[in-house]
Amino acid sequence: MLNIAVLISGNGTNLQALIDAQKEGKLESGTIKLVISDRPGAYGLTRAAENGIPALTVNRKDFQTSEQFDQAIGELLRKHRIHLVVLAGFLSILGKELVKEYDHRMINIHPSLIPAFCGQGYYGLKVHRAVLESGVKVTGATVHYVSEVPDGGEIIMQQPVLVKEDDTPESLQRRVMEEAEWIMLPKAVEQVCRVLKNRGDAISEDTILKVNEK
């Protein structure tokens, strides 16, 4: 079985979608073993705890440099023998080394159709505000592998959502979550778990250690 870590910063509704999918047997090729928040008090931590998943805070503000922060996250991922890292509303940008260590084993969900409305500065409501200002009639969400370029890694899955005349950033954000993110993320995680399993990464402890020692 593959061990999954979900990294969050806030409400954790995408985490909840993954927990629900796991309960319903729709996410069956991996298990959520760890939730990490970069902000204390994130509600996603409560969701994890309520479902018996170890939930830890690595407060970005406790670290002077992003390298030190990455190291703390990396140590936890190794300690919990994590194969796949899911960034689900995680607002810190992880550095090159950690991203490289989890090459094709770290994925992110972004609330637009990449390559539109993405990259540095496009997060949360800002994305949906920019979508409405631009006048496009279709937006959506994207799940992609994490690379060194923010929101720039290989695309795994996309789901379009229609923009309505009377949408506000808030209403659009909600619909993109309901119609795209919460449906697509569990599917994408299951798909990536299967890819990793077929690649043979999953299972033996040796493999995990080898991957992590590279």
State the nearest-atom distance from the C-beta of 65 to ligand GRF, in Å: 24
Q: Which is nearer to ligand GRF, 107 or 202 (CB)?
A: 107
Q: Which residues pair with 157 in a beta bridge?
A: 143
C-alpha triplet 74, 15, 148: angle, nearest 5°: 40
Distance CA 58, CA 200 (A): 30
Which secondary structure element, helix H or strand E, spans residue 135, and what is its range? none
Annotated active-site residue in 83, 110, 128, 144: 110
Residues binding ligand GRF (CB under 6 A)? 8, 10-14, 44, 88-89, 109-111, 124, 177, 181
Q: Closer CB to ligand GRF, residue 105 or residue 110?
A: 110
**Cα–Cα distance for residue pair 81/56, rounded to 1 Å:** 15
Closest residue to ligand GRF: CB criterion: 89
Q: Which is nearer to ligand GRF, 113 or 208 (CB)?
A: 113
Name the minimum Å distance from CB 18 to ligand GRF. 9
- For residue 40, whether the previous peptide bond is cis, meaning omega lies within 30 degrees of 0, is no
Please, which residue, 78 or 167, has the CB nearer to ligand GRF? Answer: 167
Q: Quick check: 184 and 159 in contact, CB under 8 A?
A: yes
Min dist CB 85 to ligand GRF, Å, is 14
**How far apart, in whole angstroms, are the C-alpha atoms of residue 179 and residue 210?**
39
Q: Helix crossing, 13-23 with 182-199: angle to 10°? A: 60
Active site residue 110: yes
Q: Which of 64, 129, 126 is nearest to 91 (CA)?
A: 126
Q: How far is the CB of 124 from ligand GRF (least distance, A)?
A: 6
CB count within 10 Å of CB 9 equals: 20
Residue number with CB closer to ligand GRF (26 or 174): 174
Please tell me the distance from the alpha carbon of residue 102 to that of residue 116, in angstroms, as a whole number: 25
Closest approach, Cβ 214 to ligand GRF, in A, equals: 28
Residues facing 109 on adjacent strands: 143
Which active-site residues does the annotation give?
A: 110
